[in-house]
A and B are shown apart, each in its own frame.
Chain A
C-alpha cells in the first residue's frame, strides 16, 4: 500500500505553446478531502483530467495507489470515480438503469437504490436525467462516480452553477461520503467551499500551485504577517489569502 494514495510529480501540459499546467506537484493522503482552489483558467480541470486518464500527460508522473497512470490507465480507471464538470448521461435511460449499466462497465452488479439513497435521490430512480434539477444532476453524478467503490473520487467543480441551498446540500453529501472512508479530490473556485470541505487546499493560479496547506493554516499565516482586513470583522478568510498571494482580484463574476 502506497504511503500516499495519490502522488503527482511535476505534472505539465501545454496546448500550442500555451502552458496550461506548469509543473504541478502534490500528494493526497488516504481519507482526506483535498481541494484545488483557483479561478477559471488556472489549470485545475486540466490537472484533474490528466490524473483521470482523459488527457495525455506531456511531462511528469502520476501515481495512483502506486500505479503509474501513464503506463496503466486501465488499472487506474478501475480504482477511481469521476464527476466531470460538463458532461451528461444517456438521456433515454432512467437513473436506476444508468447505475446498473455503469456498474456493469466495472464488472459489478450494483444495487442502484442503495447508491441513490447515498445521495438522497431514491425517489427519482425511474426518472431520466433530463428531468432532474441542477442540484439533483450533480448528486446523481456523484452516485455514478461511486458505483465501483473507488479508492479516490474526483469532483470537478461540484457546486458550480447551483443555488446556495443545493450547494449546502451537496456539501452534506460530500461530507457523508468522506466519513465513510473515501478519499476525495475536488476542484473549486468557491473560497467558502474550500474552507468548508477541505482538509488541505492547494491554491492554483496560471498553471502553478502557489500554496498548499490546511485552510486555517493558510489564513493564520496571512494574519501572522500583519494582514488586517479593511472592514473590521472577525478575521481574514481564504479569499484574502488568495488576494494577498496573487495581488489581483478573482478573475470572474
Chain B
C-alpha cells in the first residue's frame, strides 16, 4: 500500500513538471474557449417561435400562415417541450393555440415570451397580431379580432459559451487520455525507462495504476479550473453539481486513458503513434457536438456520431453543468460511457505491451 502511494506521488510530480502537461490540460482548453467565446454563433434576424397547436386542423391555416413569415422560424411541439425550450433560450416566443372547439373561437391567444428579450418579444407579438388580423379579415370584412397577449416567462438566455465550455472540457479530457498517455508511454518505452523498471521487483500493474490515478485527479482539476474560468470571465450559467461532473468526467477519462494505453502498446515511436491518435480523436473533436450542435449534421452522420464516446461525455457534461440535471437524468449517456469503458479497457488489455 505504501508503495502504491509512493508510486502515485512520483507519478503526480512527474506529470506536473512537464511543461506540455500544463499547456495541454489547462492553457490550451482555456485558449480555445477564449477564441470561440468571442465568436457569435447565435443566429441574427430570426425570431424562434414555438407553436403549440392543441386545436389540430382548425388552426392549420394559422400555422401555415405563421410559417410563411420570413422573420419567424417556426418549431412545432408539445406545450411542455416548447416551454422548456423557451426557458433555455432556444425560443424567443411560444404561441399556444388551445383546443376550444369550432363553436367558440378564442378571444385571445397567449404567447409566452422570454423576460430577457424585450425587443424580440415586442416584435414577435406585433407580427403574430398582424398574421391573426390578416386571417380574420380574409374571412369577413368585420371580423372578431383575436388578440394576442404576451406573458413573460423567466428564461435563462443561454449563450454559446454555455454550449461550448462543457464540450471543450470533454475534449480536453479526451486529449489528455489519448495523446497524453500514448505519447508519454511510447516515449518511456523508447528511451528504455520502462526497461530499467522491469529489472526491479515492481509489479507493472502498480505502475499503470499510479499513472491512471494521477490523470483522474487531473481531470477533476481541469473541471474545477474550466468551470471557474467560465463563470468568472464568460458568464457561464453553471447550475450543476461538481460531484456529478467528477463522476462523469472520470468515467470518460477511463475510456480515453484505455485508448491511450492501447495505442502505446502498438506503437514503437512517437511518429508511429501520432497519426493513430489523430485518426481517433479528430473526428470526435469535430463531430461530437463540441464546437457546434450536432443537429446541423446530415442524417447518416448524425446517427453514427450518436455513438461516439465523446458525444456521450459532452452531452452528459453539458446537461449536468448547464441544465442542472442529476445523474439519473443522463442514464442513456452513462450507459453509453459504461459500454465504451468495457470495450476500450478490453482492447487496451489485449494490445498493451511493456516492451
Contacting residue for A53 out of B7, B191, B199, CB 8 A: B199
Kindly list chain B residues whose C-beta atoms are within 8 Å of the C-beta of A106: 200-201
In angstroms, Cα B196 to Cα A52, docked, is 11
Given the interface contacts A53-B199, A74-B201, A107-B3, does A90 sit within 8 Å of B14 by beta carbon? yes
User: Which residues of B from 180 to 205 have beta carbons under 8 Å from A?
Assistant: 191-193, 195-202
Q: B10 interface residue, CB < 8 Å from A?
A: yes
As a 0/1 sequence over residues 66 to 95 of chain A, the CB contacts with chain B under 8 angstroms (1 = contact) are 000000001001101010101111111100
Kindly list chain A residues whose C-beta atoms are within 8 Å of the C-beta of B201: 74, 77-78, 105-106
Contacting residue for A92 out of B7, B14, B195, B198, CB 8 A: B14
The chain B residue with its CB closest to the CB of A85 is B192
Distance from B205 Cβ to chain A, minimum over Cβ atoms (Å): 14
Q: A104 interface residue, CB < 8 Å from B?
A: yes
In angstroms, Cα B207 to Cα A80, docked, is 21
User: Which residues of B from 2 to 17 have beta carbons under 8 Å from A?
Assistant: 2-3, 6-7, 10, 13-14, 17
Q: A97 interface residue, CB < 8 Å from B?
A: yes
Q: B18 interface residue, CB < 8 Å from A?
A: yes
A105 touching B200, Cβ below 8 Å: yes
Given the interface contacts A88-B191, A92-B13, A93-B13, does A54 sit within 8 Å of B198 by beta carbon? yes
The chain A residue with its CB closest to the CB of B200 is A105
Kindly list chain B residues whose C-beta atoms are within 8 Å of the C-beta of A82: 196, 199
A101 touching B198, Cβ below 8 Å: no
Kindly list chain B residues whose C-beta atoms are within 8 Å of the C-beta of A90: 10, 14, 193
The chain A residue with its CB closest to the CB of B206 is A105
Distance from A238 Cβ to chain B, minimum over Cβ atoms (Å): 29
Q: A102 interface residue, CB < 8 Å from B?
A: yes
Number of residues on chain B facing chain A (CB within 8 A): 20
In angstroms, Cα B195 to Cα A229, docked, is 44
Counting chain B CB atoms within 10 Å of each CB, the highest count among A74, A78, A87 belongs to: A87
Distance from B236 Cβ to chain A, minimum over Cβ atoms (Å): 33
As a 0/1 sequence over residues 40 to 82 of chain B, the CB contacts with chain A under 8 angstroms (1 = contact) are 0000000000000000000000000000000000000000000
Interface residues on A, range: 20 to 34
Distance from B187 Cβ to chain A, minimum over Cβ atoms (Å): 9
Distance from B198 Cβ to chain A, minimum over Cβ atoms (Å): 6
Contacting residue for A87 out of B13, B14, B196, B202, CB 8 A: B196
A88 touching B196, Cβ below 8 Å: yes
Kindly list chain B residues whose C-beta atoms are within 8 Å of the C-beta of A144: 196
Given the interface contacts A93-B13, A101-B6, does A84 sit within 8 Å of B199 by beta carbon? yes
B202 touching A105, Cβ below 8 Å: yes
Given the interface contacts A92-B17, A93-B10, A93-B13, does A105 sit within 8 Å of B3 by beta carbon? yes
Distance from A51 Cβ to chain B, minimum over Cβ atoms (Å): 11
The chain B residue with its CB closest to the CB of A145 is B199
Kindly list chain A residues whose C-beta atoms are within 8 Å of the C-beta of B13: 92-93, 97
As a 0/1 sequence over residues 100 to 128 of chain A, the CB contacts with chain B under 8 angstroms (1 = contact) are 01101111000000000000000000000
Kindly list chain B residues whose C-beta atoms are within 8 Å of the C-beta of A80: 199
In angstroms, Cα B200 to Cα A53, docked, is 10
The chain A residue with its CB closest to the CB of B15 is A92
Kindly list chain A residues whose C-beta atoms are within 8 Å of the C-beta of B192: 84, 86-88
Kindly list chain A residues whose C-beta atoms are within 8 Å of the C-beta of B7: 101, 104
In angstroms, Cα B334 to Cα A93, docked, is 38
Kindly list chain B residues whose C-beta atoms are within 8 Å of the C-beta of A105: 3, 197, 200-202
Distance from A132 Cβ to chain B, minimum over Cβ atoms (Å): 15
User: Which residues of A from 27 to 81 have beta carbons under 8 Å from B?
Assistant: 52-54, 74, 77-78, 80
A84 touching B195, Cβ below 8 Å: yes
The chain B residue with its CB closest to the CB of A77 is B201
A77 touching B200, Cβ below 8 Å: yes
Kindly list chain B residues whose C-beta atoms are within 8 Å of the C-beta of A54: 195, 198-199
Kindly list chain B residues whose C-beta atoms are within 8 Å of the C-beta of A107: 3
In angstroms, Cα B3 to Cα A144, docked, is 18
Distance from A84 Cβ to chain B, minimum over Cβ atoms (Å): 6
Kindly list chain B residues whose C-beta atoms are within 8 Å of the C-beta of A74: 201
Kindly list chain A residues whose C-beta atoms are within 8 Å of the C-beta of B202: 105
As a 0/1 sequence over residues 145 to 160 of chain B, the CB contacts with chain A under 8 angstroms (1 = contact) are 0000000000000000
B193 touching A89, Cβ below 8 Å: yes
Contacting residue for B6 out of A53, A77, A91, A104, CB 8 A: A104
The chain B residue with its CB closest to the CB of A101 is B10
The chain A residue with its CB closest to the CB of B192 is A87
Kindly list chain A residues whose C-beta atoms are within 8 Å of the C-beta of B196: 82, 84, 87-89, 144
A77 touching B14, Cβ below 8 Å: no
Distance from A253 Cβ to chain B, minimum over Cβ atoms (Å): 23
Given the interface contacts A54-B199, A106-B200, does A88 sit within 8 Å of B10 by beta carbon? no
The chain A residue with its CB closest to the CB of B193 is A88
Kindly list chain B residues whose C-beta atoms are within 8 Å of the C-beta of A91: 193
Q: Would you give 13 A-B contacts (Cβ < 8 Å), ordered by A?
A: A74-B201, A78-B201, A84-B196, A88-B193, A88-B196, A89-B193, A91-B193, A92-B14, A93-B10, A97-B10, A104-B2, A105-B202, A106-B200
Q: A53-B199, A105-B201 are in contact. List 20 more A-B contacts (CB 8 A).
A: A52-B199, A77-B199, A82-B196, A84-B192, A86-B192, A87-B193, A88-B192, A88-B196, A90-B10, A90-B14, A92-B17, A93-B10, A93-B13, A104-B2, A104-B3, A105-B3, A105-B197, A105-B200, A105-B202, A106-B201
Q: Which 3 A-B pairs have the closest CB atoms?
A: A87-B192, A92-B17, A105-B200
